[in-house]
Amino acid sequence: MINKIQNLIERMAGELPGVLAVAVVTIEDGMSIAEASSREGIETAAAAAYLASIVKSNAKAIGLLADDEEIDDILVTTSQYHFIIRHQPDQPFFIFLMTSKGTWLGKARLLIKKYEEQFASFSGFLEKHYSI
């Protein structure tokens, strides 16, 4: 099953020029289930652990500020990159996508949404095998 998730990640990473890293990450412990990167030196698995804490803290903050709202995605931009974190509240994982700043942000978001349902089909497996 992990091979299927990994294949899906690799297909997603290759679909849009400018994608530098993609990962499916568990919310609870920040473990990277599958990842792909197109550039050496990107430590996707290590970053995933930190990103899990961002997902959790953002959910708490939004709950305090607007308790009936759900986060669509979390966007972090730097001078060179976009970092998009997408988590559906009913899923035990989030999808992380890193692109170069020149990559059209709208296309990157559409790419995540395109694959989101396919990743969701693995929720039961992830909950069972990763103590989520």
**How confident is the model over 47-60, as a mean pLDDT?**
90
Q: Which two tokens stand for residue 86?
A: 């997408």
Where do the domains of the chain lie, and which CATH numbers do they carry? Answer: 2-127 (3.30.450.30)
pLDDT band at 131 (very low <50, low <70, confident <90, very high): low
**How confident is the model over 109-114, as a mean pLDDT?**
94
Q: Where are the alpha helices (DSSP H) in 16-88?
A: 44-65
User: In this predicted model, what pLDDT tens digit does every residue of 6-32 receive, in sequence order?
Assistant: 999 999 999 999 999 999 999 888 999
Please state the pTM of the whole predicted model: 0.88
Q: Please say if the pLDDT value at position 54 is more than 80.
A: yes
Closest CA to 51 of 20, 15, 75, 67: 75
